[in-house]
Structure 1
Amino acid sequence: MPLGKYSRISASRTALRRTSGMTNSISKPIIIVGGGHNGLVSATYLAKAGHKVKVLEAREVVGGAASTTSFAEGYRVSGVAHILYTLNPKICRDLQLESMGLDPGTSIDTIALGQDGNHLTLGRNAVNGVDLSQKDISAYTDFKKEFRSYAKALTPLIMNKPPRLKDMDRRDLSTLAQLGWKLRFGLGANSMREFLRVGGINIYDVLNEVFDDPRLKGAIAADAVLGHHMGPRTPTTVLTYLYRLWGEIHGAQSLPTGGMGEISETLAKAAIKAGVTIETGAKVKRIVVDEGKVSAVELETGELIEASIVISNADAKTTFLDLVGAEELDAMFCHRIDTSRSKGNTAKLHLALNSLPKFAGLSGSQLAQRLIIAPNMRYVEHAFNHAKYGEYSEQPVLEIVIPTIDDPELAPEGHHVMSISASFAPYSLKQGWENHRDRFANKIVDLIEGYASGFSDIIVARELLTPPDIEAQYNISGGHWHHGELTIDQSFMMRPVHGAAQYDTPISGLFLCGATAHPGGGVTGIPGHNSAKRILAMGAGK
Structure 2
Amino acid sequence: MIKRLRKRVRDLEIQQEIKRLQQRIRDLELKGEMRKAETESSTVVWDEGDDEEQHPFHCHPPRFYEPSQPKECLSEDNPQFEEDEIDYDEDECLFSDPSGGDFSYDSPPVFDNYSDEEEYTMVLDGATSANGSRILSVVISTEVATDCDGLTTSGVENYNVGLEAPLMPSIIDEVALKNKKWDALVIGGGHNGLTAAAYLAQSGLSVAVLERRHLIGGAAVTEELIPGFKFSRCSYLQSFLRPSIIRDLELHRHGLKLLKRSPSSFTPCLDGRYLLLGPDADLNRSEISKFSERDAEAYPRYENQLEKFCRFMDPLIDSSPPEAHQGVSSFNSRLKHKLQKSEFWAHCLHQSVSMGQQGLVDFMDLLLSPASKVLNNWFESDVLKATLATDAVIGTTTSAHTPGSGYVLLHHVMGGTDGHRGIWSYVEGGMGSVSQAIGKAAKEAGVTIVTDAEVSKLMIADSDTVTGVILADGTEVRSSVVLSNATAHKTFMELVPENVLPEDFSRAIKNVDYSSATTKINLAVDKLPQFRGCNIGSPDAGPQHMGTIHIGSESIEEIESACQDARNGLPSRGPVIEMTIPSVLDKTISPPGKHVINLFVQFTPYKPNDGCWEDTAYRESFAQRCFKLIDEYAPGFSSSVIGYDMLAPPDLERIIGLTGGNIFHGAMGLDSLFLMRPVKGWSNYRTPLRGLYLCGSGAHPGGGVMGAPGRNAARVVIDDIKG
TM-score (norm. length: structure 2): 0.70
Whether 1:356 aligns to 2:528 is yes
Cα gap change, 1:335 to 1:410, in 2 (>3 Å): same
Residues 25-34 or 75-84, more deviating = 25-34
Cα gap change, 1:125 to 1:529, in 2 (>3 Å): farther
- One-letter amino acid of the counterpart of residue 312, structure 1: S
Residues 161-170 or 507-516, more deviating = 161-170
- 1:136-147 maps to which residues of 2 (within 5 A)? 136-147=295-306
* Residue equivalent to 1:390: 569
* Residue equivalent to 2:202: 48
Residues 381-390 or 274-283, more deviating = 381-390
Whether 1:121 aligns to 2:301 is no
Q: How many residues align?
A: 529
1:85 deviation in Å? 1.4
Whether 1:454 aligns to 2:636 is yes
Structure 2: how far apart are the matches of 1:89 and 1:173? Answer: 26
2:458 partner SS: strand
1:421 partner SS: strand
Root-mean-square deviation (CA), in Å?
Answer: 2.1
* Residue equivalent to 1:149: 308
* Residue equivalent to 1:112: 267
State whether residues 148 and 248 of structure 1, in contact with CA within 8 Å, keep that contact through their aligned partners in structure 2.
no
State whether residues 499 and 505 of structure 1, in contact with CA within 8 Å, keep that contact through their aligned partners in structure 2.
no
* Residue equivalent to 2:542: 365
Cα gap change, 1:281 to 1:308, in 2 (>3 Å): same
* Residue equivalent to 1:199: 367
* Residue equivalent to 2:219: 65
* Residue equivalent to 2:346: 177
State whether residues 125 and 141 of structure 1, in contact with CA within 8 Å, keep that contact through their aligned partners in structure 2.
no
- One-letter amino acid of the counterpart of residue 605, structure 2: P
Structure 2: how far apart are the matches of 1:457 and 1:506? Answer: 55
State whether residues 169 and 215 of structure 2, in contact with CA within 8 Å, keep that contact through their aligned partners in structure 1.
no
Consecutive unaligned residues in structure 1, runs of 5 or more: 15-24
Q: Of 595, 599, 614, which aligns to 1:434?
A: 614
Structure 2: how far apart are the matches of 1:402 and 1:450? Answer: 18
State whether residues 428 and 588 of structure 2, in contact with CA within 8 Å, keep that contact through their aligned partners in structure 1.
no
State whether residues 77 and 410 of structure 1, in contact with CA within 8 Å, keep that contact through their aligned partners in structure 2.
yes
* Residue equivalent to 1:261: 432
State whether residues 163 and 172 of structure 1, in contact with CA within 8 Å, keep that contact through their aligned partners in structure 2.
yes
Cα gap change, 1:479 to 1:26, in 2 (>3 Å): closer
Q: Of 76, 79, 101, which aligns to 2:230?
A: 76
Which of the two has higher C-alpha Rg?
2
* Residue equivalent to 2:590: 411
Q: Of 162, 166, 169, which aligns to 1:3?
A: 166
* Residue equivalent to 2:183: 29
Structure 2: how far apart are the matches of 1:154 and 1:475? Answer: 29
1:5 deviation in Å? 4.7
- One-letter amino acid of the counterpart of residue 450, structure 1: E
1:199 partner SS: helix
Q: Of 648, 673, 676, which aligns to 1:491?
A: 673
Residues 336-345 or 40-49, more deviating = 336-345
Q: Of 216, 228, 233, which aligns to 2:401?
A: 233
Cα gap change, 1:177 to 1:371, in 2 (>3 Å): same
1:190 deviation in Å? 2.2
2:542 partner SS: helix
Structure 1: how far apart are the matches of 2:189 and 2:650? Answer: 21
* Residue equivalent to 2:479: 307
Q: Of 511, 515, 530, which aligns to 1:339?
A: 511
Residues 435-444 or 152-161, more deviating = 435-444
State whether residues 157 and 176 of structure 1, in contact with CA within 8 Å, keep that contact through their aligned partners in structure 2.
no
Structure 1: how far apart are the matches of 2:372 and 2:481? Answer: 45
Percent identity of the aligned residues?
Answer: 33
Whether 1:87 aligns to 2:241 is yes
Structure 1: how far apart are the matches of 2:442 and 2:568? Answer: 44
Structure 1: how far apart are the matches of 2:692 and 2:534? Answer: 51
Whether 1:275 aligns to 2:438 is no
1:173 deviation in Å? 2.5
Q: Of 514, 517, 522, which aligns to 2:699?
A: 517
Cα gap change, 1:121 to 1:150, in 2 (>3 Å): same
Consecutive unaligned residues in structure 2, runs of 5 or more: 1-132, 134-164, 327-336, 536-540
1:197 deviation in Å? 2.9
Structure 1: how far apart are the matches of 2:408 and 2:684? Answer: 20
Alpha-carbon displacement from aligned partner over 1:282-315 (angstroms, at most 9, x marks no partner): 1111111112110110111110000110000000
Structure 2: how far apart are the matches of 1:166 and 1:277? Answer: 33
Residues 402-411 or 269-278, more deviating = 402-411
1:182 partner SS: helix
Structure 2: how far apart are the matches of 1:362 and 1:522? Answer: 32
State whether residues 36 and 65 of structure 1, in contact with CA within 8 Å, keep that contact through their aligned partners in structure 2.
yes
- One-letter amino acid of the counterpart of residue 252, structure 2: E
Structure 2: how far apart are the matches of 1:165 and 1:423? Answer: 38
1:54 deviation in Å? 0.3
1:524 partner SS: coil
* Residue equivalent to 2:664: 482
Whether 1:158 aligns to 2:158 is no
* Residue equivalent to 1:295: 467
Whether 1:97 aligns to 2:251 is yes
Alpha-carbon displacement from aligned partner over 1:256-281 (angstroms, at most 9, x marks no partner): 11100011101100000001000011
Structure 2: how far apart are the matches of 1:171 and 1:275? Answer: 30
* Residue equivalent to 1:537: 719
State whether residues 170 and 452 of structure 2, in contact with CA within 8 Å, keep that contact through their aligned partners in structure 1.
no
* Residue equivalent to 2:129: none
1:82 deviation in Å? 0.2
- One-letter amino acid of the counterpart of residue 525, structure 1: G
Structure 1: how far apart are the matches of 2:693 and 2:441? Answer: 22
Residues 128-137 or 33-42, more deviating = 128-137
State whether residues 353 and 417 of structure 1, in contact with CA within 8 Å, keep that contact through their aligned partners in structure 2.
yes
1:118 deviation in Å? 1.4
Residues 190-199 or 319-328, more deviating = 190-199
- One-letter amino acid of the counterpart of residue 368, structure 1: M
Structure 2: how far apart are the matches of 1:172 and 1:383? Answer: 44
Structure 1: how far apart are the matches of 2:269 and 2:651? Answer: 31
1:193 deviation in Å? 2.3
Cα gap change, 1:144 to 1:248, in 2 (>3 Å): farther
Alpha-carbon displacement from aligned partner over 1:467-488 (angstroms, at most 9, x marks no partner): 1011111122111110100001
Structure 2: how far apart are the matches of 1:28 and 1:37? Answer: 21
State whether residues 677 and 683 of structure 2, in contact with CA within 8 Å, keep that contact through their aligned partners in structure 1.
yes
1:8 deviation in Å? 4.1
State whether residues 258 and 410 of structure 1, in contact with CA within 8 Å, keep that contact through their aligned partners in structure 2.
yes
- One-letter amino acid of the counterpart of residue 609, structure 2: K
Q: Which has the higher contact order (CA 8 A, sep 6+)?
A: 1
Cα gap change, 1:301 to 1:174, in 2 (>3 Å): same
Cα gap change, 1:37 to 1:467, in 2 (>3 Å): same
Alpha-carbon displacement from aligned partner over 1:360-381 (angstroms, at most 9, x marks no partner): 2345232122111211111111
Structure 2: how far apart are the matches of 1:497 and 1:31? Answer: 23
Cα gap change, 1:125 to 1:178, in 2 (>3 Å): farther
Structure 2: how far apart are the matches of 1:213 and 1:26? Answer: 63
Alpha-carbon displacement from aligned partner over 1:28-85 (angstroms, at most 9, x marks no partner): 3300000000011110111001100000011111101000012322221101000111
